Amino acid sequence: MMSSVSIEAAKATATSARSKPSGLAPNYWPFVVPALIVIAAVIVFPWVFTLWMSVNSWTLGQAQAFSGWDNYLRLATDTRFWDSLWHTVLYTVLAVIGPLFLGTLAALIFDAQFPLRGLLRGIFVMPMMATPVAIALVWTMMFHPQLGVLNYLLSLVGIGPQEWIYNQTSVIPSLVLVETWQWTPLIMLIVLGGLAALPREPYESAEIDGANAWQKFRYLTLPMIAPFLMVGVIIRSIDAVKSFDIIYAMTQGGPGTASETINIYLYNTAFSYYDIGYGSAMAVVFFVVIVALSFVLMMVRARTNWSDTETR
């Protein structure tokens, strides 16, 4: 005769079996479809539409006509486009080297123990929090040849006034100065994270062997923080190559076309000259350049080995 405990267990099993859906998997599509719609509307459709416009001859106010590869062939012979590409490369290289060097130096300084270190760190990262347009307006006033504070400071040490962003030779270095001032704190924070993760044992061994400060930095610190430096290079390179707001707010690509990067030339072509088809072809090429740059940087990053370290 079946005991009462067995009867209750059988009833519970039957109840749970009836409560489970028979062979039906949970339906997640109601939650996935809205996200897919948003992605298609915000990312996929604009790029498909840009690709379609790039193979058409379309100037606002005129009839649209299919042109095939004409816009891309036109880019190959456009000297202004190649000049803007060179300006982009030069601007990117300088805007990466400056913050990388100064940010690493600042990280080494702020990694040391000294009074008010936390307060000074907070002050140092403040430029990174400011909006680019506000930064551009302030620095434009500082760069003014007659009224700017920078030329006044140079006059105090006997240096004559400079033309800064108003000269074709100095405009890109001047813009890079602004970029360096704003984004050096970002590199500092990245490198500080790397310094905080370094072990103490190699340094103790180096001190026993009589290594000086430079030797410890050259043979211990620098190799171990190399992956963090590479992360900073990747972030700054991608950000600098597509920089627009500071350049446009300060120079609009001038004087002449001396600071006209691909972004600025693309914007002027599409929204100042209303050549939508040619501007779209330029956007496609620019996108390919950014993807290629990202791919190269990620390959270099993959070759940078992380050190197996314990948190200090």
CATH of the domain at 128: 1.10.3720.10
94 found inside a domain: yes
d(CA 231, CA 283): 26
| Paired tokens of 157 | 């040490």
290 found inside a domain: yes
User: For residue 311, what pLDDT is reported?
Assistant: 40
Identify the CA nearest to 80 among candidates 285, 256, 280.
Answer: 256
12 found inside a domain: no
168 found inside a domain: yes
Identify the CA nearest to 200 among candidates 234, 232, 176, 224.
Answer: 224
User: For residue 16, what pLDDT is reported?
Assistant: 54
Residues 164 and 154 sit within 8 Å (Cβ to Cβ) = no
User: For residue 92, what pLDDT is reported?
Assistant: 94
Residues 291 and 241 sit within 8 Å (Cβ to Cβ) = no
CB neighbours (10 Å) of residue 174?
22
312 found inside a domain: no
Identify the CA nearest to 243 among candidates 227, 226, 259.
Answer: 259
pLDDT tens for the chain, 312 residues long, are: 445 545 555 555 555 555 545 455 567 788 888 888 888 888 888 888 888 989 988 887 777 888 889 999 999 999 999 999 999 999 999 999 999 999 999 999 998 888 888 898 889 999 988 888 899 999 999 999 988 999 999 999 999 899 999 999 999 999 999 999 999 999 999 999 989 888 888 888 888 888 888 988 999 999 899 989 999 999 999 889 989 999 999 999 989 899 999 999 999 998 888 899 999 999 999 989 888 888 888 888 777 665 444 444
d(CA 135, CA 171): 16
User: For residue 312, what pLDDT is reported?
Assistant: 41
Q: Which domain holds residue 145?
A: 65-304
Residues 284 and 50 sit within 8 Å (Cβ to Cβ) = yes
80 found inside a domain: yes
Task: Work out how many domains the chain is built from and give that number.
Answer: 1
145 found inside a domain: yes
240 found inside a domain: yes
